[in-house]
Each structure stands twice: as structure tokens, then as C-alpha cells.
Structure 1
Amino acid sequence: MTAIQSITKDPLLQPLTIRGLTLRNRVMSTAHASGMDDANMPDFRYQRYHEEKVKGGLALTMFGGSSNIAPDSPSVFRQLDVGTDRIIPHFQDFSERIHKHGAALMCQITHMGRRGDAQVGAWLPMIAPSPIREQLHRNFPREMDKYDIDRVVRAFGDAAWRCQEGGLDGLETLAGGHLIGQFLSPLTNFRGDEFGGSLENRVRFALMVHEEIRRRVGDNFVVGIRLSIDEGEGGTRFDEALQIAEILSREGSVDFFNCMVGRMDTDVTIVEENMPGMSRPLGPFLETVGRFRQQIGLPVFHAARVTDVATARHAIRDGLLDMVAMTRAHIADPEIVNKIARGEEDRIRPCIGASHCLYKKPHCIHNPAVGRETLLPMQVPKSDAPGKKVVVVGGGPAGMEAARVSAERGHNVVLFEAAPKLGGQVLLAARTSWRKDLISIVDWRLAELDRLAVDVRYNVYAESGDVLAETPDHVFIATGGLPAAKHFNGADLAVSAWDLLSGDAQAARSILICDQTGRHEAVAVADHLSAAGHEVTLATSDAQSAVEMGYPDRTVFHKRLAEQGVSTHPYLTLHSIRREGNRLVATMEHRLTHSLQEWTTDQVVLEAGTDPVTELYDGLRNASVNDGVTDVDAMARWEAQPVRDRPGFSLHRIGDAVTSRTIHAALLEAFRLTVHL
């Protein structure tokens, strides 16, 4: 079989027809709240974000995660408002933009019920089938009466009509965890009337909603439902989900099921079940969804950590799904389908499940252009003046990205790296427990640098003479940072997370970790060491550990540290360390009371960020045409740096060589400076 025949027969590239709508392949992006709305409307920025995905080849992009249909379902996390006719012109523009690329467009509509917030929007009480408080959003809803039920059913119909008027190809309602699902679930429905008790009664509201939607949009519009097919103990069971699906299918009001597993009403369930990340295996619910598909006669969609092409292909080829949703994977690389079709699967930028896109919506931890489609190009264009000599010093994330983008622009790139490997701090971070997939950030760039023939010189501690000998046009200093200097009595007795992960220091039996950043480093090392059997105590200067992380990572770390017996103590900063015999005594100051506490341990680990390594940069400034100054105003305008009117090289430092920051910040800085070269 030739390569072309293999691609043509690829299960992922086969079309699918649903109620007269033909989808060009089996790959989609599911609805999510991207945080790119303008006053709850999908304006230009929002549309461009989705347009990149369909330009990249997928068949269906679904948008508007948790789009609200009524005023007592207000925007909690920047959802769209489908409860007003004001949205119709936006839908029409959106549909035209997506359809010209040959893809389909659908919106998710919902009423959040108890999941909303009574103290935003119109400050209306939340409603629910029963007055059961949701732990995650913390509101006490009032029980719906018949008037509420009829009102919300009409609102669903009105919203569906707006979707159709806007030229969309279809819609889905969101049941799992939201109002429709709250009626379905015995965990949240304790009613004694015709809407509670038996399964037939609990499904009544969903049936009314979908019958009203079908009445308003007619027979030529695709309508689906996102349904939790197994909520776990006490919730909607798998066998009940099958009965619900059979009832909705029988009435002809539903054309597809977008299946989820689990719940979304607590920190833990939303991270482990609803939106699983790096801490969970690939495709954790595929087999369950596959069993559901085998027993119903309608197409099944599914999204949950299907991040790689092999898993996606398995899901379609083996009949587990009809449409595979690679939502976060398309945030990492909107070109997935095109790369499959071109036989370039090995060039797909991998989604590593870091959940950065959930925390800093919708930015990918290692694709700086995502969410900035109106500011940065998704594909790096060739320069109008290629062939410049670019020297990059330092092969961490910032340095690798600067080298990659400069080479994509068509320039000749030399990358000096003092170590025998590229990757910088990511190499250390990837050694910790469940975060091993971080190494893909490095591996993908290594492959790209090799493809682009970048001249990488390992084991070279570059000095000014090495740089100048290359006669550069542009120089980027990405020498990173070192653990921040310590200024207290006994500071020399502390070690850093780097020391332990690199093997420069051996972990002792009992360890006190003092975290002064709230970032990944301290909790990752605490997790790593406690899992290896060490007795770990974590002291943080914040009100809780991991405050600078998004809720997915923070929740995973909190759970793991609790399971492993790590005791965490808030509001403490390291004051001094002294030695007593063969042990250490750390004096900690409580930030609120200023009282001093003494802690005896075998080892003290201090995490306080990094100080930039700037010797090379400082030595090159006078020789550069810009004195090493990066024009902040040009950066803020997302423009190229000013061109100097005298010969010589421009000099910029990037990443942690500027100050202690995150992986995404380092990559973004490198990208935005080099994409204009």
C-alpha cells in the first residue's frame, strides 16, 4: 500500500453524515469557554481562534462552552449569551468565516442551574430541580416550580432558533452537571412530582427541552446532547444513561450524543473526570463510551484526554466513537488534520495535558500563538530578508524557541548550549512524578531544530568572543537563571529543588521544603520526594500551597500530597537555619502574627525562584546597536523591534535571563521577538 493510499484509507479522514450534514472527516473540537468573548459575544478574536482550527483541516468546531440561554444562568467563566437576539449577527459572521473553509460550526447551549453564581449578572437566585448546593460554585439554588420549568424550556427553544438564524449547522445542549443533568441525576433531583423519582420522570425535563428545540428548528438542523453516561456512586448509572438515550432517540429530538463520564461539581471530579490532564492516562473513558455506542443507534462524540493521533485513530477504527474530539490537542496544534493528510504526523506539536489552556485561557503552554491569532501568526512566515546570522546562547525553552522561529524565518542560526543536552529547567521538571510529559516541549523542538538544520553546539560555555566570532546580525541571550541568592543566617545550609532533582544533593530522611513562590517547583519536589518514601513537610508563605497554579494542577498536587502524608503549613517564611548536632533547626516567621517557630529536620529545601544569569549579556551590550535594550512599547504593540540606522548586531535577553518566569512566558517572549526578524 502506498503512503497516499494509506492516508486515503485513514479512519480519521473518512466523512460522516448526520441528518443531512456531511462532516469531511472524523476529527472535531468540542465546545469550551475560551475566554475570548467580547461582552459575551463571539466577535473577531473569538472567531479567528476557531478559524485556525478549521484552516488546519478538522471537520467540526463546536464553540460556546456553557453558552447561557436565560438571565438566571449568568456568565461565571466568560461564556457566551445566547439569550439575546444581539448574538445573531455574530453567529452569521462566524458561520460565513468557518464555512468558507469547508468545516461545520455548532454551538453548545445550556442553563447552568445550581452551577451558576447568584452574585453576578442580574443577581438572580440560582434555580435547580432541588435546592442542593454545588460545592464548586457554592450557591444555594431555589427549587424550580412549573412556571420556571416552562420558562426555561421556552428559553432553550429561543436560543436554538437564534443558532439556526445565525447560520450554524447545529447545536448541542449540555446535560452533564448542568440543569438538564441535574434533573437526570438522583444526586441532585429529590422532587416528588412528575419531574422526580423514576427515571421516566427525571428524563421528562430533558425531553421537553429537546422537543421544544426540534419544534423551533425543524427537521433539517442537527441537535445533540452532551451527556454524562456514568456519574459514579449515587449518580446516573450507565444502564440509566442507556435508557435516557433510548428515550431521547425514540422521540427523534436528538441526532448525536457527546458522551462524558463522571461529574463536574467538585474540584477533584472536574479535574479527574470532566477535564482530565497530565495526571491521568490517555483516553481514560474510551472503553466506557465505546460500550455506550455499541448499544445505541446514533453517532457518538467524545472528548477526554485524546491528545495524540494514535489514540484518536484507535477510537474511530475500533468503533468506539463516530467523531473523536481532540480539543486541547488542537489548541497545541490547530494543523493536526492537515499534517495527517500530508503524512507529517511526526511534526504535530503535542498536547502534553499541562492544562495551561484551562488556567490562562486559551493559551497553550508551548504554542504562543494560540489565543493571539489577531496578533501572532500560527505558521511562521518566511522573512522578506532571509539569510541573517542569528546567534542564540542557551538551550532552555526560550533559547530553543528563538532558534526554531529564526530558522523558520529563513535565517542561519547557531545555538550555543553549555550542557550536553537542550531543555534547561524542563529537564528537571520532567523528572517529577506525573509531570514527565513536559519533556515533549523539548523533544518537539529538538526535532524541529534538526529539520531546520540549526547548528547546535553542545558543551560550549559561550563567551563574548564566541558570539562575536560568528559576525551575528541578531543575538539572543537565553542563559536562564540560577536558584535565587539567599540572604539570611545559615543560608548556606539550605539546598534547592534543583540540587535534589539534578542529583547534586542527596535527599535526606526528613525534609522541610520552604516555598516562597507558590509555583510548581516546591510542590512538585514535595510530591516527588514523598512518593519516594521521604518524610516531607511543606511550609508556604502563601495562604495555601500552589497558589500560582491553575486549579487543575493545584487540585492534583493537593490531593497527592494529602494521600502521601505531606503536612502543609501556610503563612510561613524562612528566617534562619542553624545546625544542632547532625540535624538542622529552621526558624520560620509567621507572616500574619510575626511569631517565630522552630522546626527540626534533616534537610531544608528553599524555593525562591531564580536570579538571571547576565554576565554574557552585560559583556555584549556595548558592542550591540541597541545597547541590549528591548523596546517595551514595540512589544506591547506586538510589533517588530525598531531597526537601528548603524551597522552591527541587535542584542536581546529572553526567558529567565530576564527574570524568573514560566515556560509559557519564556516561549512567548522568544516567539514575539524572533517572528519579525
Structure 2
Amino acid sequence: MTIHSPARVKDPLLQPLKLKKLVLRNRIMSTSHACGLEKDGFPQEAYQAYHEEKARGGIGLSMFGGSSNVDIDSPNIFQQLNVGTDGIIPHLQRFSERMHAQGAALMCQITHLGRRGDPYAQDWLPPIGPSPIRETLHRGIPREMDEHDIARVVKAYGQAARRCEEGGLDGIETLASGHMIGQFLSPKTNHRTDRFGGSLTNRVRFALMVHDEIRRNVSDDFIVGMRYVVDEGIDGELSADDCLAAAQILEREGAVDFFNALFGSMDTSRSLSEEVFPGMGTPAAPWVAAVGRFKRAVNLPVFHAAKLSDMASARFAVAEGHVDLAGLTRPHIADPHMVAKLLRGEEHRIRPCVGAGHCQSQHRPKCLHNASTGRELTIGHRIEPSQTPRNAVVVGAGPAGLEAARVLAERGHKVRLFEAAAQPGGQVLLAASDWRRDLIGIIDWRLAELEILGVTVECNRYMDMDSIAALDPDLVILATGGIPQTEFGAGSDLVQSAWDIVGRQIKPASDVLIWDNTGRHPALLAAQMAQAEGSNVRLATIDVNIGQDLVYPESTRWHKEFAKSGLRPEGNLRLTGVTRKGNKLEAALINELTHEVTHQAYDQVIVEMGTLPMNELFEDLRGHSANDGVTELHALKDLRAQPKNGKGFELHRIGDAQSSRNIHAAVYDALRLCSVS
């Protein structure tokens, strides 16, 4: 891949970096993570294709295999790889060939979970650790390791490293921080009194033994680094000075060739979502300065990734000497071609990472607004031009409609896009507030792409059957969204929706009940806004707790927000009725556990029950369409063009115009339908 201008030749991100004999073509990397695509514990076709796309997109180094297990009592609990068997070697060989053919380097992270292991996962073996101290997130109480355990695990690390080199990889990193190496290092998890506990010299001994064994099993040219904590933060006990002192020992002993810097500890949801993997609502590049102080005190290359969300943040980190290699891991999930766009002078066209955390959920590695990531073997990232351009009409300019218009225009169709509201964005305009304001990037990026493609969003345009028919379309896509569902039983006419509060259609009253039936954001946003305006808020949910439909960084953030404000949500409550009592509304709530019904009066009752499709336009159009508005599901799933059933336009619904779902579902609807239309 060539650089096309002198300005880009000088870009700090595009300078090569030498590690031993390996030369990385730029300063941009993707850090190790468990991407969720493993098969039988190995990086097979889907896993490799996911990383190969980043290599094709110009990345310098892709690291993979977050928390790859070196031994049997480090179990697979979040779809890690198994580097504890020679069976992985052929897969690594094919993987490295593919990445090297695209010009990218490839490394794997190897580890033992230690006390983070689940005693009931995989082979039901007890977790082990330096001391028998419970791990809060994974809930295991480890057995204290004896010298036999230590010798076994040290050997396992060495064999895992051997397999990685035989697999053609350029190097590996071990994981300290909350995993076994870090558990020995931290006085929080190491209470031993033998040669592995007490002084810093003793606590770093296990790491030195592991890396000595790794060096014994690999060649001198093979690169060996460590994902290393530079400060355990407020939940830990290793200070920045302690971490630096241990790092200097590791450097002096020749244990490592680089440090891949982390900040924070891993044993609480708060520290994971705010420190180790900071997301939406946290400042950009929060730990770059701390990592820079660490880097200036060691003499090895230092890598770092923690909300380096865009090229500007990464460029600053490299240019100011804070890091040698910038980790843009989640941004590459949003756009694996970001380096190629930078090289073409199209940095402004990079699809932004909005930090939503969808890629860290059970759906990983799927991006909230890039439905191709993780589906490289099916839909992929390239939009193919159509051989038969069509006259397409898209109604609705929320995420689904904007994506449909973008994909259709990329394919060469003539696209008209209409929005009834005064501006595009749909529900995202309501959602993108306060700590979730970065969501607006989902809309802004698509609007910018549509401008480049020559598609105008025609706002304040309410479309009916006649106005659509007058355009003589071949294809009509309805992305008209939904309206709030408020029908729960007796008294439904007396309540308002959470949207009314969030959209400021109504003012919160003095005494408010907000009932959440979805476990999503709207009720929580409404509660936060009402409380901020001085209302006395009772937040009840049908679920065990709030945010049940959200990914863990989001739910953790909501718990923190309400803990700060003093709002105490109540779970297992179902709203069964609302009646008017004078100038008050009496709400009946049944406890789903005890079936006890309580009645209490409020000034206002707000409900969140998702949305119902706005079907009127669809029903008007379907009788005039060639397909009666039917989207053939097998064709949709298999990425085949929809069957032609006769004369007239083809009609489809996408996103919330079908049912109440999230942004990713809406975008995926649009992408897979329109990429073959």
C-alpha cells in the first residue's frame, strides 16, 4: 500500500516501527481480544477472515486471541482460544500466511486466568492462584498454588509460545494485570509468605520464570512482550511507582521486548468499563499521559489502547511520544479499512467508533453500526455495484433508512430519501444526550457519506401512497420506525411514554412513577431527566434489575449514575393498572416474586414498552406492490435478491418499521436487503 502525498509521508501514524528484525509498516495496531469467532478453541475461517480484513485495510499489527489459555485449568469462559494443544498449530500457520500476504504482522496473547477461572466451566477444575482470594466478577475462590502448580504452569506458557512460533506468528504477549502473572505481582491478590510473596522482588519472580521458559522455547528473533498494567487504579493496590519498578526489573532481566500498557484493574464491572476498556461517556484517550510517564522511564517500545477512538487521538499519542504503537481496536471493529482511508487522504470518511460497547457484548465482535464486521464470510465489507440500476425510494431517515439509502447509492441506484421530521436521525436524536451523545456519530457519518454519494435527505416530507406512486419507483423501502407502545391494561390512556419525557414533549411532574418493561435506555433516560428537573422519581422495572437488555458497560454506567443521584430502582414489578383518584393517578404494581399487589398515587405515570410499527403507509402500499410487501426471509438470510412476483414496485420494511429492536438490527436489515437489491 503506497502513500500518495508528502503530508501523509510525515504523518506520525504512518512511520514504520522496528521490533528486533520485524518492521511494522505503520504505528497502528489492533490489540488482543476474544472476538467471539473461535471454533472448537481455534482461530478458524471466520476468525481469520475477521482479522484479515484489517490487514487488507492496512493495519500494521493485528494481535489476537485475547486471554488464550495455556493450560487445562484456565478454562474457556468467554470464547478464548486454546494454545494449550498442538492442534492449534495448523490453524496458526494458515492464519499467519494470510496476514503476512496482506502486509500485516500477527501476534497472539497467551495467558493463564488464574483466579479468574470459572470452577464450573469446561472441565470443572478448581481455579488456582497465588492466594485463595475470591475473584468478584467470575466468582471463583482459587486454590493456593504450590510449587508443583507453579512449575506446571510455567512450562505450559513455554509450550504455548513454542506453538505460536511454529504457527508462523511474529510474536506473542503474556497478560499481566488481572490474570495470573498480575495476580502474583499485586499485593491485593498475593498474600504469600514464601519466595513468591512479600517484597516486589519476590512478587515479580513468577513473571520472570514464565518469560525465562518462553525464551527457552522460542528463537531469538521471536518477539515476546507483556500486556502490562502501569497503575491498578482506585480498585487496586499496585501504584504507578510499583508498576514501574517491576517493569524495570523485567526489562533489566531481558524478559520482554515491549510493554502493551493497561490502566486499572479487572475485577469489577466499574473498573473494566471505565478504566481498562473505557467507552461512551468517558474522555478520549484518558490514560495516554500516564502511559507516557511510564514510557519515558523504560527503554522498550510501549503500546497502548484505551479509547483511542480516532486517528486524531492516536496521532497525538504517537506524536507526543506517549506511545510507540497506537491500539485502535474497537475503531477497527467499526471500520477495518481505516488505515487505507488515511492513506487515500480520506480520513474524514472513516466510520467512527461511538463507544457503545455492543462489540464487547454477547454479540461480539459486531459493531453497533457496522453490520459487516464479524460477518466477513457472508456479507463482507465491499458493496458490489448493481448490474440493473433501479429507481429507489426510502422513507424514513433514522439509522435504518440512512443505511438503506447509503448502500443503494453505493450500488449505483437512483435514491430519493424522505423524512417527515425536520431533521434526520430518528430515535438516535433522543438517545444521543448527556453521556451517550457520541451516538450521533452513527447519523453524522451516514449523512456525510450520502452527501458524497449525491443523495439529499428531503426533510419535512410526509409521504403517502400518492406521493410515492408519483415517483414511479422500482423499489420502496419503508424505514418509518415505530411509535411508543403504552397499552398494558386498564388505565393505559392515563399514562405517557418515556419518549414524551426524553423528547421534552411533556414536563415531568412532582411525583413520578416510571415503569420499564424493556430493560433498555428510554426509561432510564426519562428517570434521569425527571430527577434532574426536581421530580421525586420512583423507577420500577419488570426485570430483576435495570438495563437487562443492555451491554455491560452501559448497564454499569446506569447503575453508577443512579448511585450518584440516590435513585434506587426496584425490580420484579409489573404495572397492572392505573386509575384516576382526584388529581392523582393511582398505580397498581404486582411483585412478580410474591404476587403481592400494592397501590400508590402519583402525579404522573410514565411507561416504556418499546415501539409498535407505524403500519399505515405500508398497508396502503402493499396492495400496489409486486410482492405484497413480503420480504422472503430465506433470500434475506442467504443474501439473495428478493423474488420477482409480478408488476409494480418491490416493497419492504426495515428496522423498527417491523419490530422494536436495536440500532444494529436496523442497520443489518438495511445492509443485507439493499446489498443485493
- The equivalent of 2:443 in structure 1 is 442
Q: Confirm whether residue 365 of structure 1 aligns to residue 350 of structure 2.
A: no
Contact 1:520–1:546 (Cα < 8 Å) also in 2? yes
Relative to structure 1, the CA distance from residue 15 to residue 532 in structure 2 (aligned partners, 3 Å threshold; closer, same or farther) is: farther
For residues 31-180 of structure 1, the aligned pairs below 5 Å read 31-180=32-181
| Residues 536 and 567, structure 1, Cα contact 8 Å, conserved in 2 | no
Match of 2:564 in 1: 563
Which stretch of structure 1 is more off in the superposition, 393-402 or 572-581? 572-581
Between stretches 91-100 and 458-467, larger displacement belongs to 458-467
CA contact (8 A) 1:169 1:221 kept: yes
Secondary structure (helix, strand or coil) at the match of 2:496 reads coil
2:669 is aligned to 669
Equivalent residue for 1:305?
Answer: 307
Which residue in 2 is equivalent to 1:648?
648
Counterpart of 1:483 in structure 2 is: 484
Q: Which amino acid aligns with 2:671?
A: F
RMSD: 1.3
Any idea what SS the aligned residue of 2:588 has? strand
* Aligned twin of 1:203: 204
Name the CA distance, whole Å, in 2 between partners of 1:232 and 1:454: 48
SS, match of residue 248 in structure 1: helix
**1:136 alignment partner, SS class:** coil
Q: TM-score w.r.t. structure 1 length?
A: 0.98
CA contact (8 A) 1:485 1:611 kept: no
Distance apart, 1:3 and its partner CA: 8.5
Displacement of 1:449 after TM fit?
A: 1.1
Question: Which amino acid in the other structure matches residue 17 of structure 1?
Answer: K
Aligned to 1:247: 249
Q: Which amino acid aligns with 1:384?
A: Q
1:322-361 matches, within 5 Å, as 322-359=324-361, 360-361=363-364
> Could you tell me how far apart the structure 1 residues matched to 2:181 and 2:672 are?
44
Amino acid at match of 1:458: C
- Residue in structure 1 matching 2:383, options 366, 380, 384: 380
8 A Cα contact 2:73 2:127, kept in partner: yes
CA contact (8 A) 1:535 1:566 kept: no
Find the partner of 2:292 among 287, 290, 293.
290
> What code does the residue aligned with 1:668 have?
Y
**Do the aligned partners of residues 193 and 532 (structure 1) sit closer, same or farther apart at CA in structure 2, a change above 3 Å counting?**
farther
Q: 1:552, CA displacement in angstroms?
A: 1.2
Give, in whole Å, the separation in 2 of the partners of 1:599 and 1:137: 39
Q: In the alignment, residue 460 of structure 1 is paired with which amino acid?
A: R
Q: After the TM superposition, which of the residue ranges 453-462 and 207-216 deviates more from structure 2? A: 453-462
**CA deviation vs aligned residue, 1:502-555 (integer Å, no higher than 9, x gap):** 221111233211001111211222233334443221100111111111111111
Q: Distance in 2 between matches of 1:248 and 1:600?
A: 65
**Deviation for aligned residue 1:412:** 0.3
Q: Distance in 2 between matches of 1:499 and 1:398?
A: 22
For residue 76 of structure 2, give the secondary structure of its aligned residue in structure 1: coil
| CA distance, structure 2, for counterparts of residue 253 and residue 371 of structure 1 | 35
Give the unaligned 5+ runs of structure 2.
Answer: none
For the residue of structure 1 that corresponds to 2:507, the secondary structure is coil
Q: Which moved more, 1:467-476 or 1:194-203?
A: 467-476
Paired position in structure 2 for 1:534:
535
* CA-to-aligned-CA distance 1:168-197 (integer Å, 9 cap, x gap): 000000001000000000000000000000
Give the aligned length: 673
Question: Is the partner of 1:461 in helix, strand or coil?
Answer: coil
- For 1:674, give the aligned amino acid: C
- Counterpart Cα distance in 2 of 1:524 and 1:37: 36
Matched, 1:414 2:416: yes
Q: Give the letter for the 1:437 counterpart.
A: D
Q: Name structure 1 gaps, 5 residues minimum.
A: none
Does the 8 A contact of 2:373 with 2:380 survive in 1?
no
Report deviation, 1:492.
2.2
2:479 and 2:210 map into 1 onto residues whose CA distance is 56
- Tell me, what secondary structure is at the counterpart of 2:254? coil
C-alpha separation in 2, matches of 1:57 and 1:293 = 26
Q: In the alignment, which of 272, 275, 291 is matched to residue 274 of structure 2?
A: 272
CA contact under 8 A between 1:65 and 1:79: conserved in structure 2? Answer: yes
Secondary structure (helix, strand or coil) at the match of 2:467 reads: helix
Please say if residues 527 and 557 of structure 1, whose CA atoms lie closer than 8 Å, have aligned partners that are also in contact.
no
Task: Summarize the Cα distance change of 1:157–1:532 in structure 2 as closer, same or farther, 3 Å threshold.
Answer: farther
Partners in 2 of 1:199 and 1:4 — Cα distance?
Answer: 50
Instruction: Tell me the equivalent position of 1:317.
Output: 319
Residue identity in the other structure for 1:307: S
Query: CA separation in 2, counterparts of 1:400 and 1:660?
Result: 18
**AA matched with 2:250:** L
User: Which residue in 2 is equivalent to 1:604?
Assistant: 605
1:236 matched to 2:238: yes
- Alpha-carbon deviation of 1:106? 0.2
Whole-angstrom CA distance in 2 between matches of 1:531 and 1:156: 53
CA distance in 2, matches of 1:11, 1:225: 24
8 Å Cα contact 2:488/2:576 also seen in 1: no
Distance 1:435 1:90 in 2: 40
Q: CA deviation at 1:592?
A: 2.6
Identity within the alignment, %: 54
Name the CA distance, whole Å, in 1 between partners of 2:229 and 2:488.
54
Q: Is the 8 A contact 2:292 2:323 kept in 1?
A: yes
Give 1:487 deviation, angstroms. 4.5
Read off the aligned partner of 2:286 and give its amino acid letter.
P
Is 1:214 paired with 2:215? yes
1:294 offset after TM fit, Å? 0.6
SS in 2 for 1:592: coil
